[in-house]
Structure 1
């Protein structure tokens, strides 16, 4: 309770203000004391001077009286003494009249009159000759005057001494009160000083605690409590310094979780946080005390391992770590499988600095993830290839902004009539230095990063703009198909973006076909079905691309709002000379008819295959025999030369 009071801001402010007022009160008391003492000293000095002057007057009168007595005894010898003694009190009486207090000024008038009478009597006495009777009478009269003056002087001395005693007593009482007040203020100030010191110490401890906490937060991940990137960098540098001194090796593992984004998108960020915490627990439980486990951000973790014997040892540790990590995890009642990809790099074999070690481990992890290896050790040859790919992804962002992407179009035709029923838009990249790049050169890498979303949006907008151009400029009504990656089907906002693109281009939704893969469906069938249903309700056509190469179940196909299946080219190529290929195509056609889906055969490369597909009642075909992917202007030229151009019309 006391500590809480001390930590209170109101108490701290009150203590500081109280201490300031206490110091001010002490200063005021000191000023009053100094002023009072000075006034007392001045008053006592002045009264002492007045009292001393009255005493001097008494002394002078005594001397003059003694001189009178001597004169009366022996006139001859006492005359000079009397003359020198006379008028000795004049200056003291004048001083009293000028500097004495009002009562002294009133008294000095009477005393002066008596002293003047005394002096006149002495003067007359000296002039008297041998008349002894007259002389004695004057002497008696002078003695009476002198006695009055002395009594008055003594009375004034006594009065001033009594006044000084009373004044000193009053001053002493005031000083006692002043001292008591000073002691009280000093006591209060001391208590306030103790309180202020307690407040300051409390705040100092709090600030120190906050500094420690801030430093901990600056060097640790808030969610998992693991070291963050900054602390990992410091630990790497320390480990490398030690390794250089003792000629040891240091290993660094970088781990990236598989399908973490799907967990986040499907179950929510809370489940994602629980998954990251579970991964942190498993990693810290599987490493040595000398190792450092860090979270670099997102779903990336790192393990720094001093004193690694060899790259093989590092790989073995990585394998044990991955085995400890993988397995089911319960996330608030939902069980998910944890898996990941680990990249390893070793100092000084692979890297000479901490920055290089981290970079090379990241490259190895990227290799493990892309090739589904689980674990990969850094390879300089793969590094050069990966560096080119990473640089390509960075350039792809610029290519989207600067319109370096182009679309080629491959027509689809009816196998029975040869009519052109639509086109598929296929992306190309006109790289300023590497020439025309095919989709396989950059799309797989784009799918592993967030850039696939703006890339897909850009392709969609370009295809719809081209459709509008053919319709408005060439009078050709030609539907377009666009490939859609998995990530778009897990994005609830994708349907809204498609609708906005259609509205902006002024294109009827039925003129757009979105082609998806089987893996897109099985990745998250519930969310995929929701997005696809919205697209179908908008009027957009939906097609499953490369059917037969994935792992989709019949239940997924039955529940998804699809329009079309596209048989993968690997089955179509062998249809004429392989019983298995023909059987698979017939099975897909039967399945499609049962599900009321249209079928497009991809990879038709000769007339015989096209004719055979027609005999199997496969409605549509696409392939090099019909046309390679061509630029938009070349497609219009191709249409004019196609032998069934007279029958051209879209199938809606």
Structure 2
């Protein structure tokens, strides 16, 4: 029975019970009034019957006294007759005035006859007319018969009335019993409904209690329950000197799953993660979801940091197994931060913050599991400061570009430059790209940074073009940009703003950016190709296998990673890889670009292998924009 059905049943039962009680009360009142009326009527019948009986008694007394007088007229016989003369008149007058209609009518009819007999008796007492005695006797006899008949009728009326009253009272009693039984049934129903409502309220209260302390999606504990359990566990750990550990588990690249496959798939993945976390720990441990893709594991009585680290490794192993969701196979990676009580902190809130700092350290260092120490706190604060400063640097245009030339391998003619971002920090000096690029990638700044670099590179390209130098420029594109279909439109706006042909811009994309969401990446790359922008796969051969995507994407060039190029003259394996990649590029009709060329021998080997373009310090180091024109002039003169 649902809550609303229970309420409706309770309302019906209440209305029915109220109506039944009112009916029962009405029947009781009716019975009382009926009994009172019956009693009054019976009393009235009894009283009139007694009056008639007394009238009959007075007539009998007078008749007996008359007979005694007729036997012997003495003073002893005259006095009783004299005393009885007219004694019944008062009763007859009362019956005529106060009796029931039948009594009044009978009394009215008998009074003249009684008065006549009374006059006769007075004459007999006076002795003036002896004949009157016989006539009085006859009158008494007639009166006696009529009064006896009236008394008999009264008795019959009383009996009939009592019988009728008994039948009516019996019907009332039956009705009262029926209503009582119905009321009892309604009371029972009402009690059952109340009991069911109480149970439902208790269940709802338990459900509300569970929902207040558990995550709706995964069924794990939430922050509220974690805080409560952690407070209890921390108190116990301090009193009994039993270390506990708090682990923060954060999934890597979960946002890509939500953006690429939708939130429904993301929710399914989070449920799988919750199950695996629960399997990986003890029954006494508490697994909680803090929000999004962040989880916490409370380990009471863990013993040591090494044990906590082992649990963290076990969690990563459990998460490492591929997950199949609606026909898609996904791989899960995570970072785990560990903080211990009481060594790291004796406060639950601070312990949570320390575990969070350790987790971010594990994510930055890609170490899987990191245990908190004070130095991480300092580095974490520095990292947050770097994020804020980088955001301000992008907004205020504090970044600048250096450009590294590229040349044709066979002729040495310059065929373009690659734009490389630089950050001149006001206090830290020149910040290397390998320091701030990961910060941008981890904190959602890579997209505005990429747009900033493309804009600056195209502006400089426009300036060179105005000076008479047509210099194609290449820009590295952050992986996140390929997850947003509006990116080609942004690039088109920038090209239009600077008034350049799209062929002068080459966008370099890493393999991992394509593999993470191939369908979305192919769609975005198709949009860029339609603009006329050249596309290049950067660091080819170091990431995932993307050969199958070379057929579906209209890529223009393939960049060979410096890890293969630098040692190709001294390492036969690297040389074989470079030759294979160059052959692969030619087979797909792509231009092969080798980066990391540090000497003439490497350049010559690449040219002999059929590589199209070379780039590296042997040709030139990255130069500021104002030095590029002079370098190009010197290079053209030397080449001539």
TM-score by length of 2: 0.74
- The whole-number CA distance in structure 2 between the counterparts of 1:215 and 1:538 is 57
**Offset, 1:350:** 0.8
User: Which whole-Å deviations, capped at 9, do the CAs of 1:262-318 have from their partners, x for residues lacking one?
Assistant: 556666667656655554454444433322233434443332221232223322443
* Unpaired segments ≥5 residues, structure 2: 599-605
Quick one: which of 290, 298, 301 aligns to 1:304?
298
2:343 aligned with 1:349: yes
Which aligned pairs between 1:184-583 and structure 2 lie closer than 5 A?
184-221=178-215, 224-262=218-256, 275-323=269-317, 325-328=319-322, 336-390=330-384, 408=400, 444-449=438-443, 451-452=444-445, 456=447, 460=451, 483-489=476-482, 491=483, 494-496=484-486, 498-499=488-489, 502=492, 507=497, 510=502, 514-525=507-518, 527-544=520-537, 547=539, 550-551=542-543, 555=547, 558-559=550-551, 560-563=553-556
Quick one: which of 41, 44, 54 aligns to 1:43?
41
SS in 1 for 2:345: coil
- The whole-number CA distance in structure 2 between the counterparts of 1:193 and 1:91 is 60
Quick one: which of 140, 143, 166 aligns to 2:134?
140
* Unpaired segments ≥5 residues, structure 1: 606-612, 630-634, 648-652
The residue that corresponds to 1:115 in the other structure is 114
Q: Which moved more, 1:375-384 or 1:141-150?
A: 141-150
The residue that corresponds to 1:93 in the other structure is 92
SS in 1 for 2:147: helix
The residue that corresponds to 1:609 in the other structure is none
- The whole-number CA distance in structure 1 between the counterparts of 2:110 and 2:473 is 138
The residue that corresponds to 2:52 in the other structure is 54
Change (3 A) 1:410 1:442: closer
- Is contact 1:598-1:619 (8 Å) kept? no
Which aligned pairs between 1:101-180 and structure 2 lie closer than 5 A?
101-125=100-124, 128=126, 132=127, 134-180=128-174
Change (3 A) 1:325 1:469: closer
- The whole-number CA distance in structure 1 between the counterparts of 2:558 and 2:431 is 28
**Offset, 1:345:** 0.8
Quick one: which of 28, 31, 34 aligns to 1:33?
31
User: Which whole-Å deviations, capped at 9, do the CAs of 1:92-126 have from their partners, x for residues lacking one?
Assistant: 33332233222222211111112222333344445
2:627 aligned with 1:628: no
- Is contact 1:405-1:428 (8 Å) kept? no
- Is contact 1:412-1:420 (8 Å) kept? no
- Is contact 2:400-2:422 (8 Å) kept? yes
The residue that corresponds to 2:601 in the other structure is none
Change (3 A) 1:236 1:419: same
Change (3 A) 1:553 1:288: closer
Change (3 A) 1:640 1:314: closer
**Offset, 1:182:** 2.9
Change (3 A) 1:209 1:49: same
Q: Which moved more, 1:329-338 or 1:161-170?
A: 329-338
Change (3 A) 1:247 1:413: closer
Change (3 A) 1:621 1:249: closer
SS in 1 for 2:231: helix
**Offset, 1:167:** 1.2
- Is contact 2:345-2:351 (8 Å) kept? yes
**Offset, 1:448:** 2.5
User: Which whole-Å deviations, capped at 9, do the CAs of 1:390-429 have from their partners, x for residues lacking one?
Assistant: 46657988999xx556664556878799999799595979
**Offset, 1:374:** 1.7
- The whole-number CA distance in structure 1 between the counterparts of 2:104 and 2:284 is 102
SS in 2 for 1:534: helix
SS in 2 for 1:343: strand
- The whole-number CA distance in structure 2 between the counterparts of 1:527 and 1:339 is 21
- Is contact 2:556-2:590 (8 Å) kept? yes
Which aligned pairs between 1:68-83 and structure 2 lie closer than 5 A?
76=75
- The whole-number CA distance in structure 2 between the counterparts of 1:87 and 1:395 is 135
**Offset, 1:377:** 0.6
- The whole-number CA distance in structure 2 between the counterparts of 1:71 and 1:398 is 148
- The whole-number CA distance in structure 1 between the counterparts of 2:449 and 2:69 is 143
- The whole-number CA distance in structure 2 between the counterparts of 1:552 and 1:118 is 145
Change (3 A) 1:354 1:414: closer
- The whole-number CA distance in structure 1 between the counterparts of 2:98 and 2:397 is 114
SS in 2 for 1:118: helix
Cα root mean square deviation, aligned: 5.4
Change (3 A) 1:426 1:322: closer
**Offset, 1:379:** 1.2
SS in 1 for 2:530: helix
Q: Which moved more, 1:30-39 or 1:167-176?
A: 30-39
- The whole-number CA distance in structure 1 between the counterparts of 2:53 and 2:414 is 149
- The whole-number CA distance in structure 2 between the counterparts of 1:501 and 1:106 is 124
**Offset, 1:140:** 3.1
- The whole-number CA distance in structure 1 between the counterparts of 2:176 and 2:7 is 29
SS in 2 for 1:307: coil
**Offset, 1:36:** 2.3
SS in 2 for 1:308: coil
SS in 1 for 2:224: helix
Q: Which moved more, 1:173-182 or 1:198-207?
A: 198-207
Change (3 A) 1:244 1:84: farther
User: Which whole-Å deviations, capped at 9, do the CAs of 1:160-204 have from their partners, x for residues lacking one?
Assistant: 221121111112122222323333333344444444444444444
TM-score by length of 1: 0.73
Change (3 A) 1:66 1:259: same
- Is contact 1:283-1:321 (8 Å) kept? yes
